[in-house]
């Protein structure tokens, strides 16, 4: 008889896990709480560092899960997970009771809700948007202000909801810096006369080809990088966003009028993941993400034998890392299933 595995969460990690497990002779049930698989990648336009169209990744993933051993349930939330002797029972929001030999949790992340940093005026001022909103504008090919005008001065705020003790997230989301660089370039490409300012605390360019992209942004696209934290934003009568920044390189406060402000929202443990952590008694770290048994060689294993993690439900990751992490999870699952049948 084939082994059954349930994968919770149909984003990049979950789809990759499902596809690979099916290839390795498992019967997979993939549960997705929204109407569509694909997760956050669907909302993104181009991916860093090579500006690949995100649809290419989605196509790859969709092909991967088109497999006779994979059954997909969308609009399905997980209520709880119980272990019964040798197998697990997963109860879903629509009353299903599914059985499995192993479980992979790939609930991913939530984008930080920028309203929570009220001082930046998201949801209050017309032209304060989030990085996700900007991606949508790219996709629809219209970077416009609320009144239909084309913005000429645009600010990008780094570390919104990350590295911020006041909102309870002390960690770095790792991707927003390079996202800002990528988006800044994209803006200048579309609006050549636009001036873009990035307000950062540190620039973190730790991935393959990131630093090169950062250099390109400065040399070829004239993006301004200002080291300083945005303290508050207000709006004047002309709807200009008066942004106050402490320029920590020159040591002086800075006030700058902008047309549009883009908030680089950080990544947080998904709320759905937190619920599962509670009901299945899975360990989470101080940053609320799932806590794997070992940071070095056990990053896919949970504190419950037979339940595994894949992707950004354990920490912020880019797509390359997510896919690698998902594939690693598959090996752990297969190991576990083999050990059990011996």
Partner 1 sequence: MQFDPFVIPFNIGLYFILIYAVVRCVLWFRDLSRADKLRLQRGFFGRPFAKSLKEIFMESLIHRKILKSNFRLGYMHMSLAFGWFLLILFGTIEADIFGTRHLNPPYKAIFFKFFNPEHGRNGIEAFYAFIMDFLLAFILSGLLLAVIKRFSSRVVGMKKTTRLKTLDKVALTSLWLIFPSRLLAESFTSAAYDTGSFLTGSLGSVFASFLPVNELAYPFWWLYSISLGTFFILLPLTRYMHIPTELFLIFARNSGIRTGDHYGAFTEIQTYSCSSCGICIDTCQLNLSTGITDIQSAYLLKGIRNNEDVKDIANNCLMCGRCDQNCPVGIELTPIRMIMRREPETKSGDNGFFEKYFPSHVKIPVPKTNGSLVYGWLPAVKTTKAEVLYFAGCMTHLTPAIKKSMIKILDAAGVNYNFMDEEGGVCCGRPLMLAGKYKQARELINYNSKIIKQSGANILVTSCPICYKVFRESYYLNIDVYHHSQFINSLINEDVLRLRFLRKKITYHSPCELGRRSGVYAEPKEVLKHVGRLQLTRHEDENAYCCGGSLGNMHISYAQKKKIASDAAKDLTRNNPDILATACPLCKKTFSPVTETPVADIAEIVAEAIILSHPDKKNYSKVISLKEPVDISE
Binding site for partner 1 (CB under 8 A): 116, 118-119, 121, 124-125, 165-168, 232-235, 242, 244, 255
- Smallest distance from the beta carbon of 259 to partner 1, in angstroms? 17
**Which listed option, partner 1, ligand SF4, none, makes contact with residue 177 (CB within 5 to 8 Å by class)?**
ligand SF4
Specify the residue, 27 or 114, whose C-beta has the smaller distance to ligand SF4. 114
Interatomic CA distance for residues 81 and 307, integer angstroms: 10
Q: Please, where are the H alpha helices in the chain?
A: 12-23, 54-65, 131-140, 176-190, 210-221, 271-279, 319-341
Interatomic CA distance for residues 325 and 9, integer angstroms: 15
* Interface residues toward ligand SF4, by CB under 6 A: 158-159, 162-163, 172-177, 202, 204, 264, 266
**Which listed option, ligand SF4, partner 1, none, makes contact with residue 303 (CB within 5 to 8 Å by class)?**
none
Exposure string for 202-230, b = 16+ CB within 10 A, e = fewer: ebbbebeebeebbeebeeebebebbbbbb
- Smallest distance from the beta carbon of 178 to ligand SF4, in angstroms? 7
**Which listed option, partner 1, ligand SF4, none, makes contact with residue 244 (CB within 5 to 8 Å by class)?**
partner 1
- Smallest distance from the beta carbon of 287 to partner 1, in angstroms? 13
Pairing between β-strand 102-105 and β-strand 3-8 as defined by DSSP bridges: parallel
- Smallest distance from the beta carbon of 292 to ligand SF4, in angstroms? 21
**Which listed option, ligand SF4, partner 1, none, makes contact with residue 278 (CB within 5 to 8 Å by class)?**
none
Interatomic CA distance for residues 334 and 113, integer angstroms: 37
Specify the residue, 17 or 233, whose C-beta has the smaller distance to partner 1. 233
Specify the residue, 264 or 333, whose C-beta has the smaller distance to ligand SF4. 264
**Which listed option, partner 1, ligand SF4, none, makes contact with residue 167 (CB within 5 to 8 Å by class)?**
partner 1
Specify the residue, 193 or 236, whose C-beta has the smaller distance to partner 1. 236
Q: How far is CA 214 from the centre of its chain?
A: 21
Interatomic CA distance for residues 228 and 158, integer angstroms: 10
Residue 172, Cβ neighbours under 10 Å: how many? 18
């Amino acid at each position: 008889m084939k082994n059954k595995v349930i994968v919770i969460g149909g984003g990049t990690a979950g789809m990759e896990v499902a596809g690979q497990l099916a290839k390795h002779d498992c019967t997979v049930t993939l549960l997705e709480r929204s109407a569509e698989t694909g997760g956050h990648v669907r909302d993104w336009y181009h991916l860093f560092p090579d500006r690949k169209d995100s649809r290419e990744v989605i196509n790859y993933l969709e092909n991967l899960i088109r497999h006779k051993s994979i059954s997909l349930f969308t609009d399905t939330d997980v209520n709880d997970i119980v272990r019964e002797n040798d197998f697990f029972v997963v109860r879903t929001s629509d009353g299903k009771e599914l059985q499995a030999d192993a479980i992979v949790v790939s609930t991913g992340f939530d984008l930080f809700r920028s309203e929570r940093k009220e001082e930046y005026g998201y949801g209050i001022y017309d032209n304060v948007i989030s990085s996700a909103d900007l991606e949508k504008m790219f996709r629809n090919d219209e970077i416009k202000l609320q009144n239909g005008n084309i913005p000429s001065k645009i600010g990008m705020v780094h570390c919104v909801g990350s590295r911020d003790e006041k909102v309870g997230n002390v960690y770095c989301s790792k991707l927003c810096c390079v996202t800002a660089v990528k988006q800044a370039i994209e803006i200048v490409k579309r609006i050549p006369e636009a001036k873009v300012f990035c307000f950062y605390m540190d620039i973190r360019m730790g991935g393959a080809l990131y630093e090169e992209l950062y250099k390109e942004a400065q040399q070829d696209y004239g993006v301004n990088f200002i080291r300083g934290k945005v303290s508050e934003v207000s709006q004047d009568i002309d709807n200009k966003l008066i942004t106050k920044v402490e320029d920590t390189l020159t040591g002086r406060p800075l006030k700058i009028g902008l047309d549009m402000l883009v908030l680089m929202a950080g990544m947080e443990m998904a709320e759905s993941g937190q619920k599962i952590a509670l009901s299945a008694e899975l360990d989470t770290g101080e940053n609320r993400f799932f806590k794997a048994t070992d940071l070095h060689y056990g990053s896919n294993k949970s504190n419950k034998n037979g339940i595994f993690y894949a992707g950004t439900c354990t920490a912020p990751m880019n797509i390359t890392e997510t896919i690698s992490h998902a594939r690693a999870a598959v090996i752990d699952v297969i190991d576990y299933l083999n050990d059990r049948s011996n």
